[in-house]
Amino acid sequence: MKKPFIVVKPFFLSLFFIVISSIISPVLASDEAGHESEPFNASEVILHHVLDDHQWHLADGLVIPLPVIIYSDENGLEVFSSSNFYDEHHNIIEYNGYKLEHGHIYLADSGKAVFDVSITKNVAMLFINAAVLFFVFFTVAKGFSTNRGKAPKGVQSFFEPIILFVRDEIVKPNIGHHYERFLPYMLTLFFFILFGNLLGLLPGAANLTGNIAVTMTLAIITFLITNFSGNKAYWGHIFWTPGVPLPLRIVILPVEIIGMFTKPFSLMIRLFVAITAGHIVLLSLISLAFIFGSIWVGFASSMIVLFINLIELLVAGIQAYVFTMFTSMYIGMATADHGHDH
């Protein structure tokens, strides 16, 4: 009977904090001298959340500086803290011949871009997501070995049904009898996206799975696995479609080749758009309390945010399911027997 309370409690906390924020927002709108400060910029706040950054801004006055790792022909390899780009008033300044503009680092004199492999907010979130994956599934594996032949307990009892669902309802039906070869990747893909989606809903978290670079990387991995695993029948259907007149094959060939690239492209865009749009909607509704400075607007937006949060939890699972399902389908089509007998 405690589980429903555990699920609902975060939403009531969100409701509480948003209502409180709507009460204090008129106070924060004025400085100590009683003069009106700059109006609340909702678009700046929203874009700051959904885009990557060289520091992790959790709240006003609570900023985590991240390592900057850059290389240029002029200065070579340099490593320093991103806090050097900001003064005590959090204004962006030049440091050691470098300047930071719109999330990118340039040489201050020439304006030339540098080779940037810094630990940005999304990279840090990527490490956190990976750490959670390792912790959870090493715990599940340990529980499986300890409780072999017995009923699962603890973390294992929660995740084992999900693992079986991915195996029996997503991977096995779409790939076929040789599914075990691809099962580790499918499970990693599913839980990486799921955990990234859920962690991204936490206050102050980074928009990991709503980053186009992350979704593009996942799509490219799927593309490579699909095509490197493709059998003779798969490539034969692309370059020499059987049962089709020769003149029509000239038309089908470019369509098939384009289709090879549109499949991973659709995976990339679908996940990126769904997660980013959800974050933008939530932040837009929360921003209404600060824009209007009214407790009633804050309360109304809080109720809507509560409902949207529930939808976002559902979307987090659906997007992990959809990405894994389509990946399984693409690999299944590339490795299946393309004979015409059923």
pLDDT at 148 over 90: no
CA distances from 250 to 16, 80, 212, 255 (A): 63, 56, 34, 9
pLDDT at 102: 81
Helix 232-239 vs helix 246-292: crossing angle, to nearest 10: 100
Per the CB < 8 A criterion, the answer to whether 288 and 24 are in contact is no
In the Cβ-directed half-sphere of 152, how many Cα atoms lie within 13 Å?
16
pLDDT at 14: 52
Asked whether residue 58 is domain-assigned, the answer is no
Beta carbons within 8 Å of 138's beta carbon, 6+ residues apart: none
Query: What share of the chain in percent tops pLDDT 90?
Result: 37
- Average pLDDT of the chain, as a whole number: 83
Number of domains in the chain: 2
Residues 110 and 126 in one domain: no
Residues 198 and 167 in one domain: yes
pLDDT at 37: 55
Asked whether residue 4 is domain-assigned, the answer is no
pLDDT at 35 over 80: no
User: φ, ψ for residue 327 (rounded to 5)?
Assistant: -60, -45
pLDDT at 6: 40
Residues 99 and 211 in one domain: no
Confidence grade of residue 40 (pLDDT, cut at 50, 70, 90): confident
CA end-to-end span of the chain, whole Å?
Answer: 49
pLDDT at 314: 92
Token readout for 169 is 């309802």
Residues 93 and 165 in one domain: no
Please say which residue of 77, 93, 119 terminates a domain.
119
Asked whether residue 153 is domain-assigned, the answer is yes
Residues 284 and 136 in one domain: yes
Residues 83 and 230 in one domain: no
The domain in which residue 174 lies consists of 121-335
User: Which strand ranges, in their side-by-side order, compose the sheet holding 76-81?
Assistant: 76-81, 67-72, 115-116
DSSP 283-339: HHHHHHHHHH--HHHHHHHHHHHHHHHHHHHHHHHHHHHHHHHHHHHHHHHHHS---
Residues 112 and 212 in one domain: no
Query: What share of the chain in percent tops pLDDT 70?
Result: 87
CA distances from 93 to 52, 74, 114, 120, 266 (A): 19, 20, 17, 18, 40
Residues 175 and 316 in one domain: yes
Confidence grade of residue 291 (pLDDT, cut at 50, 70, 90): confident
Q: Which residue has the higher pLDDT, 325 or 42?
A: 325
**Mean pLDDT over residues 184-188, rounded?**
95
Asked whether residue 164 is domain-assigned, the answer is yes
Residues 143 and 222 in one domain: yes
User: What's the pTM?
Assistant: 0.83
Asked whether residue 231 is domain-assigned, the answer is yes
Residues 77 and 226 in one domain: no
Selection from 287, 311, 307, 289 nearest residue 299 by Cα: 289
pLDDT at 44 over 90: no
Residues 89 and 190 in one domain: no
pLDDT at 28 over 70: no
pLDDT at 252: 86
Asked whether residue 206 is domain-assigned, the answer is yes
Helix 3-28 vs helix 246-292: crossing angle, to nearest 10: 60
Asked whether residue 340 is domain-assigned, the answer is no
Selection from 112, 42, 55, 120 nearest residue 83 by Cα: 55
Residues 90 and 155 in one domain: no
Asked whether residue 255 is domain-assigned, the answer is yes
Task: Quick: pLDDT tens for 64-96.
Answer: 889 999 998 888 899 999 888 888 777 888 888
Selection from 1, 42, 21 nearest residue 283 by Cα: 42
Distance CA 331, CA 226 (A): 5
